[in-house]
Amino acid sequence: MLNILWFSAPHPCFLGPGQPCDCLPPLRAAAEQLRQKDLRISQLQADLRRPPPAPAQPPEPEALPTIYVVTPTYARLVQKAELVRLSQTLSLVPRLHWLLVEDAEGPTPLVSGLLAASGLLFTHLAVLTPKAQRLREGEPGWVRPRGVEQRNRALDWLRSGGGAVGGEKDPPPPGTRGVVYFADDDNTYSRELFEEMRWTRGVSVWPVGLVGGLRFEGPRVQDGRVVGFHTAWEPNRPFPVDMAGFAVALPLLLAKPSARFDAAAPRGHLESSLLSHLVDPKDLEPRAANCTRVLVWHTRTEKPKMKQEEQLQRQGRGSDPAVEV
Query: For residue range 251-281, what is the model confidence (pLDDT) as tens digits?
Result: 999 999 999 999 999 999 999 999 999 999 9
Binding residues for Mn(2+): 186
List the end-to-end C-alpha distance of the chain, in Å, as a whole number.
119
Domain range spanning residue 247? Answer: 66-134+144-204+242-281
Average pLDDT score over residue span 13-28: 63
Q: Look at residue 15 and tell me if it is in a domain.
A: no
The fraction of the chain above a pLDDT of 70, given in percent, is 89
The three-state secondary structure class of 132 is: helix
Instruction: Supply the pTM of this predicted model.
Output: 0.81
Average per-residue pLDDT for the chain = 90
| β-sheet bridge partners, residue 113 | none
Does a structural domain hold residue 163?
yes
Q: How many domains does the chain have?
A: 1
**Would you give the DSSP letter of residue 120?**
S
With bands split at pLDDT 50, 70 and 90, how would you rate the model's confidence at 2?
Answer: very low
The dihedrals phi and psi of 272, each to the nearest 5 degrees, come to -65, -30
Q: Is residue 169 part of a domain?
A: yes
Q: Is residue 324 one of the residues assigned to a domain?
A: no
Q: Is residue 106 part of a domain?
A: yes
Residue 19 falls inside a structural domain:
no
148 in any annotated domain: yes
Are 170 and 92 in contact, with CB atoms under 8 Å apart? no
Active site residue 271: yes
Nearest alpha-carbon partner for 221 in 293, 161, 154, 152? 293
Cβ atoms of 70 and 98 within 8 Å: the answer is: no
Alpha carbon of residue 146 to chain centroid: 23
Q: How far apart are CA 256 and CA 159, in angstroms?
A: 10
- Is 267 domain-assigned? yes
- The CATH number of the domain holding residue 129 is 3.90.550.10
Write out the binding residues for UDP-alpha-D-glucuronate: 72-74, 103, 146, 151, 184-186, 298-300
State how far the alpha carbon of 72 is from the alpha carbons of 35, 165, 217, 296, in Å: 72, 15, 22, 17
Which residues contribute to the annotated binding site?
A: 72-74, 103, 146, 151, 184-186, 298-300
Q: Which candidate in 271, 302, 309, 324 is catalytic?
A: 271
pLDDT for the residue 4: 47
